[in-house]
Amino acid sequence: MMSSPDVGGYFDARVRRYDSAYESFDSDGHALRARLDAVLRRAGSGPGDALDAGMGPGRLAAELERLGWTVSGVDASLEMVSVARKRLPGSAQRFTHGRIESLPFPDESFDLVTATGVLEYSSVASALAELARVTRPGGRLIVSYPNAGSICGIWKSRAWYPAVRRVKSVTGRAGAHRPDGAGAIAAERVVRMLEGAGIAVETFDYVSFLALPAPLDTMFPAVSARAGERLERRGAHARRLGTQIVFDGVKDATAVGHGAGS
């Protein structure tokens, strides 16, 4: 469960595409918007100090700021930091380059800490210990992790992506590899890891529903987005159709964090 040392470089090259995906009417756009909405519902309104770790282009940070939070951010990609600074010019000095496994903030600095779409690229136990360390006692931690039980996710990671990589390497079009991430982790294990870090988990919910497997989702982007939205509203078969899980917990004011068990 190690994070790739050059994860920042990988995301440097993808910042525009990733940022614009939030506005695209396809499965990726739907998945990003659904996760963002789920996190915002749980975060609620400020005032207070918030940290978005691995904030990418700052989409969530901007929404948190609108909700009255004073937002800081940290990301391993210099390009992502630069785009986030431009998106939130008033908070630019609070967005820094760094890694989630060694956050550049003192203990108990934040009332709200979020990390979406990032733990899967990190050393998860170290990252959770760090997120818990910088959260104030009684403060809220909201994180996402890919749903290891999602049918479309399993198909994509075990069959579709390896097949695409093989074709690209045979035809000499191999691009940069996705960083080796932490791999599949069952929801219950993520809960145990959070609790090991001193976070009392209140809810975990399946979001970012996807019903059309690759490549059908990219062949019929609007159909895929509409189907995802409809399923999301109904919440049917969440454990199989949700591609992401959002975990929400509170730092136990009495517990002594002792690092997330792996």
Binding site for ligand SAM (CB under 6 A): 3, 7-8, 11, 54-56, 59-60, 75-77, 80, 99-101, 116-118, 121-122
In sequence order, the 6+-apart residues with CB closer than 8 A to the CB of 112 are 43, 46, 48, 49, 50, 51, 64, 69, 139, 140, 141, 142
Q: Return the number of the residue (28 or 217) whose C-beta is nearest ligand SAM.
A: 28
What is the biggest distance separating any 2 CA atoms in the chain, rounded to whole angstroms?
A: 58
In the complex, residue closest to ligand SAM by CB: 56
Q: Return the number of the residue (116 or 147) whose C-beta is nearest ligand SAM.
A: 116
Query: Closest separation between CB of residue 58 and ligand SAM, Å?
Result: 8
Q: Return the number of the residue (92 or 200) whose C-beta is nearest ligand SAM.
A: 92
Query: Closest separation between CB of residue 78 and ligand SAM, Å?
Result: 9
**What end-to-end distance do the CA atoms of the chain give, in Å?**
9
Query: Closest separation between CB of residue 225 and ligand SAM, Å?
Result: 17
- Of 154, 174, 149, 178, nearest to 164 (Cα)? 174
Query: Closest separation between CB of residue 98 and ligand SAM, Å?
Result: 7
Q: Return the number of the residue (49 or 101) whose C-beta is nearest ligand SAM.
A: 101
Query: Closest separation between CB of residue 115 and ligand SAM, Å?
Result: 7
Q: Return the number of the residue (40 or 223) whose C-beta is nearest ligand SAM.
A: 40
Query: Closest separation between CB of residue 179 and ligand SAM, Å?
Result: 7
> Which token pair is 230?
């409809």
3-state SS track over 44-96: CCCCCEEEEECCCCCHHHHHHHHCCCEEEEEECCHHHHHHHHHHCHHHHHHEE
Q: Return the number of the residue (61 or 194) whose C-beta is nearest ligand SAM.
A: 61
Query: Closest separation between CB of residue 182 and ligand SAM, Å?
Result: 10
Cα–Cα distance list, 76 to 62, 118, 135, 205, 244 (Å): 19, 10, 20, 27, 22
Q: Are 143 and 112 in contact (CB under 8 A)?
A: no
> Which residue is it, tokens 């499965």?
27
Q: Return the number of the residue (59 or 251) whose C-beta is nearest ligand SAM.
A: 59
